[in-house]
Amino acid sequence: MTSVDIKHFPMRIGGREVDTERRRNVVDPSTGETVATVAHGDAGHVDAAVSAARAAFDSGVWRHRTPQERAAVMRRIVAAANDVADELIELELSANGATVRQATGFHIGYALAHFSYFADLAETYAWQRPAPITTFPALGQAVVHREPIGVVGAIAPWNFPLLLTLWKVGPALAAGNSVVVKPDEHTPLSILAFARIAEENGLPPGVLNVVPGDGPDAGARLASHPDVGKIAFTGSTAVGREIMRLAAGTVKQVTLELGGKGPSIVLDDADLDLAVDGVLYGCFVYSGQVCESGTRALVPAHLYDDFVGRLVTRASTIALGPTRDWDTDMGPVIDAHQQARIVDYIHGAVAEGAAVALGGQAIDQPGYWVTPTILTGVHNSMRIAQEEVFGPVLVVIAYSDDDEAVSIANDSDYGLAASIWSSDNSRSLDLAARIDSGSVWINDAHQINCQVPFGGFKQSGVGRELGPDALDAYTEVKTVHLDLSGGRDSKPYDILLSHADE
C-alpha cells in the first residue's frame, strides 16, 4: 500500500464514530508498512462507551426484545458480514499477518459461523426453568430465571481479532447485554467494521461499542469500571492475573482464556505420517501464535531420531511468503518485539543444551519473520518447555513409557489443550482421562468446535467459552418463589411468632 491508500478508522461509541487527535498506526507484519490509522482511545473514552452501553441497556431497546427477535437481528448481521467477507479478510490479514488461507477459513469463516451459533442459542437457551414444587416448610413453586448482566467488557487479543472478540460479543448480545470492546491496539480494524455492519443491520446504537487503546490505560479502566458487570478476556496469563485483580475491586464476573503450552503426545503405535503432519499443523499454524498450539512434541525414546527426521523433512516444505498468496503456508509474527522475543527464547534454549534441528532465526527482510524452528535435546524443565513462546517453535521431548508421557504433559503451569496420536482408540481415551487439560484431541489438532466448551485448567484460564452453556457466563441467575399454600395457617411463621396476638 502507498500512503494514499491508508484509511483512518474512528472508534465507535453510542452509534457514532468518535475520533481523537491521537492516532495509532496499524502495521502489516508481513511488510512492516503502515496500512491504516486508528483513533487511540483512553480511559475517558472507555467511560463514555460504558455510559452509552449502560444507557442502551437501561432503555431496554435490546434486552427487552424476545430471544427470537435478538436472534433474527444477529442472523441479519451475519448475512451482511458474509456479503463483505473479502473486506473483513483483508482487514484481518493486513493487521495481524495471517495468510489468506488462514484468514478466510479460521479468522473470518469461523468468526461468522460462531456468531450464527450464538444466535441459535438465543432461541434454544433455557431462559426460565421451573424447580420442583416444594411442600416444606410450605407449599410453593420456584422458577429459575436467566437475565442479562448489564454492561459486558470484552478485551480481545491480536491473534484472532474478530473470532475471539465474537466469542464474547456473541453470547453477550444473545443474552441481551450491552458490550464495550477494547480490541488489541495492533488489530482493531475488523471489529470496528463489524460494529458498523451490526448497527446498519438492526443492532441499536450503544449496544456494541468499540474503543481501541492501550491495555494499561483503556483496558485497565474497562476491567475496573464500576458500571461493568463482567469482563471477558483472552490473552496472556500475566495480563489475565492483572485483569482478575482489577475486576475484584467491584467483584465482577470474569471469563479468562489465557496461555498454553500444549503437549502433542505421540504413542508408539501412532500412524507416523499422520502424526508428523498433525504435530506440525498443531504447532506452526499461524506461526505458532495460537494459545492452544501443541508446542511440545512428546515422542517415545526409541522413535525419537526417526520422528525428528520426519518432522524436519516435512517442515522444510513449509512455504513462507506473501500473506495474500494462496500458495503461502506460513506468514510472519506480529511485530518486531515479538520477533526478537522468539529468537531470544531459541538462543536461551541452545544455551541450556538444546540443539536446533531446523530454522532457529529471524529472516532479514521487510516484516517480522521467523523460520519454522524445531529444537531437540529438550528437557521439560527448560525454560523453552515451560513458558509460552507464541511463535513457530516446536520442542521435541523424549519419554520412556505412557506414565512418563503423562507426567511430562502435566508438568506445566498451563492446561489448555493437548493432542494424542495413536492407532488405539481405547488406549488414547484412557490416556486422555489422565491429562490435565481443557481439551484433548485424539489424532487431530486445533479442533475448535463451537458446540463444545473451550477453556483451560490451571493457569490457562477461568471459565469456558463456546458450547451449549456459553450464555451462562453472560447471565445472572434469579430465583422467583411463588407461595401456593394459600394462607397464614400453612406457614411456618410460628417458629418466630408463636405467641403473637391472633
Q: Tell me which residue of 418, 403, 413, 389 sits closest to 241, measured CA to CA.
A: 413
HSE, side-chain direction, 13 A CA sphere, residue 39? 18
Residues 170 and 62 in one domain: yes
Q: Cα–Cα distance between 23 and 378 in angstroms, integer? A: 44
Amino acid identity, residue 128?
A: Q
Of the residues 92, 185, 199, 291, which is catalytic?
291
Gyration radius of the chain's alpha carbons: 25
- Asked if residue 44 has pLDDT above 70, the reply is yes
Residue range of the domain that includes 293: 263-442
Q: How confident is the model at residue 160 (pLDDT cuts 50, 70, 90)?
A: very high
Q: What is the structure's pLDDT at 1?
A: 40
Question: 359 in the Ramachandran plot: left (φ > 0), alpha (ψ -120 to 50) or beta?
Answer: left
Q: How confident is the model at residue 487 (pLDDT cuts 50, 70, 90)?
A: confident
| Helix residue ranges, H only, 146-236 | 161-174, 189-200, 220-224
HSE, side-chain direction, 13 A CA sphere, residue 454? 22
Residues sharing a CB contact under 8 Å with residue 213, sequence separation 6 or more, in sequence order: 40, 41, 42, 45, 46, 182, 185, 219
**Angle at alpha carbon of residue 260, lines to 258 and 263, rounded to 5°:** 160
How buried is residue 346: exposed, middle or buried, by Cβ count under 10 Å (0-12/13-18/19+)? buried
Of the residues 257, 292, 388, 465, which is catalytic?
257
In a domain, 486, yes or no: no
- Whole-angstrom CA distances from 200 to 39, 62, 75, 258 are 21, 15, 13, 33
Specify the 3-state DSSP secondary structure of 102: helix
pLDDT digits (tens, 9 = 90+) for 132-152: 999 999 999 999 999 999 999
CA 113 to chain centre: 15
Is residue 292 annotated as a catalytic residue, yes or no?
Answer: no
Q: Where are the beta strands (DSSP E) in 174-247?
A: 178-182, 208-210, 230-234
* Owner of C-alpha cell 524443565: 381
Residues 152 and 274 in one domain: no
Number of domains in the chain: 2
CA diameter of the chain: 93
Q: What one-character DSSP code corresponds to residue 377?
A: S
Q: Cα–Cα distance between 422 and 429 in angstroms, integer? A: 10
In a domain, 447, yes or no: no
HSE, side-chain direction, 13 A CA sphere, residue 341? 13
Residues 222 and 94 in one domain: yes
**C-alpha grid cell, residue 218:** 483503556
Q: What is the structure's pLDDT at 495?
A: 84
In a domain, 336, yes or no: yes
Q: What is the structure's pLDDT at 2?
A: 41
In a domain, 496, yes or no: no
pLDDT digits (tens, 9 = 90+) for 403-435: 999 999 999 999 999 999 999 999 999 999 999
In a domain, 491, yes or no: no
The secondary structure element, H or E, covering residue 300 is strand 296-300
Read off φ and ψ for residue 30, nearest 5 degrees. Answer: -80, -20
Residues 185 and 297 in one domain: no
Residues 166 and 22 in one domain: yes
Residues 292 and 171 in one domain: no
Q: How confident is the model at residue 496 (pLDDT cuts 50, 70, 90)?
A: confident
Amino acid identity, residue 313?
A: T
Residues 206 and 188 in one domain: yes
**C-alpha grid cell, residue 98:** 495471517
Q: What is the structure's pLDDT at 474?
A: 98
In sequence order, what DSSP letters do the residues of 467-493 get, joined into one string? Answer: STTGGGGGEEEEEEEEE-S-SGGGSST
Is residue 283 annotated as a catalytic residue, yes or no?
Answer: no
Let me know: does 189 contact 38? Beta carbons within 8 Å: yes
Residues 253 and 267 in one domain: no
Q: Cα–Cα distance between 163 and 484 in angstroms, integer? A: 48
Name the packing angle between helices 67-83 and 161-174 (round to 10°): 160
Q: What is the structure's pLDDT at 430?
A: 98
Amino acid identity, residue 304?
A: Y
Count CB-CB contacts under 10 A for residue 432: 17
The sign of the CA dihedral 427, 431, 432, 434 is: positive
User: For 460-481, what is the mean pLDDT?
Assistant: 97
Q: Cα–Cα distance between 412 and 83 in angstroms, integer? A: 44
In a domain, 108, yes or no: yes
Domain CATH code at residue 419: 3.40.309.10
In a domain, 39, yes or no: yes
Residues 416 and 475 in one domain: no
Q: Tell me which residue of 464, 113, 474 sits closest to 258, measured CA to CA.
A: 464
User: For 377-396, what is the mean pLDDT?
Assistant: 98
- Asked if residue 371 has pLDDT above 50, the reply is yes
Q: Where are the beta strands (DSSP E) in 29-149?
A: 33-39, 128-130, 140-148
Residues 243 and 269 in one domain: no
Domain CATH code at residue 13: 3.40.605.10
Q: What is the structure's pLDDT at 364?
A: 94
Q: Quote the percentage of the chain above a pLDDT of 90.
A: 95
Q: Cα–Cα distance between 434 and 405 in angstroms, integer? A: 10
- Asked if residue 502 has pLDDT above 60, the reply is no
In a domain, 451, yes or no: no
Q: How confident is the model at residue 64 (pLDDT cuts 50, 70, 90)?
A: very high
- Asked if residue 471 has pLDDT above 80, the reply is yes
* Owner of C-alpha cell 495481524: 96
Average pLDDT, the chain: 96
Q: What one-character DSSP code corresponds to residue 130?
A: E
| Helix residue ranges, H only, 316-411 | 336-351, 383-386, 402-410
Q: What is the structure's pLDDT at 500?
A: 54
Residues 227 and 334 in one domain: no
pLDDT digits (tens, 9 = 90+) for 238-256: 999 999 999 999 999 999 9
| Helix residue ranges, H only, 285-371 | 304-315, 336-351
Residues 121 and 252 in one domain: yes
Q: Cα–Cα distance between 369 and 360 in angstroms, integer? A: 11
Q: What is the structure's pLDDT at 3?
A: 44
